Amino acid sequence: MVPGAVLRGVTLDCADPQTLAGFYGALTGMRELFSTDEFAALTDDSGCDLGFQRVEGYRAPQWPGQDVPQQFHLDFRADDLDAMEELALELGAAKPDHQPGDGRWRVLLDPAGHPFCLTSS
């Protein structure tokens, strides 16, 4: 039998863990699990936590360019794309001009510059 690994969480590099945790907490409804000056984590009942770790000299990804690569991005399903985009923008996200996907998803940048997508599927 092959052992099965279960994804327990994802951690994003950033300059300010508490600010980024606040953004994603408000966006997703996840609650604070742990917080220090160097690391913050959010949790919910999904079993997959979202963490944020301070990195000295952090450089935000440059979407869509790759001078500072995005390295990864998060995808979030939303029943109402327009409402979720509006909320994300109110919380401090930015919407870049480059929007691939012919409207099937929306690319936004979190306050630390990480690209993430909102999709209805």
HSE at residue 92, side-chain half, CA atoms within 13 A, is 14
How are beta strands 49-54 and 9-14 bridged, if at all?
parallel
Query: Cα–Cα distance between 121 and 114 in angstroms, integer?
Result: 21
Write a three-state SS string for 23-53: HHHHHHCCEEEEECCCEEEEECCCCCEEEEE
Type of residue found at 3: P
Q: What are the 10-residue block averages of pLDDT along the chain, 121 residues in total?
A: 77 96 97 96 94 94 82 87 94 94 88 92 73
**What pTM value is reported for the model?**
0.86
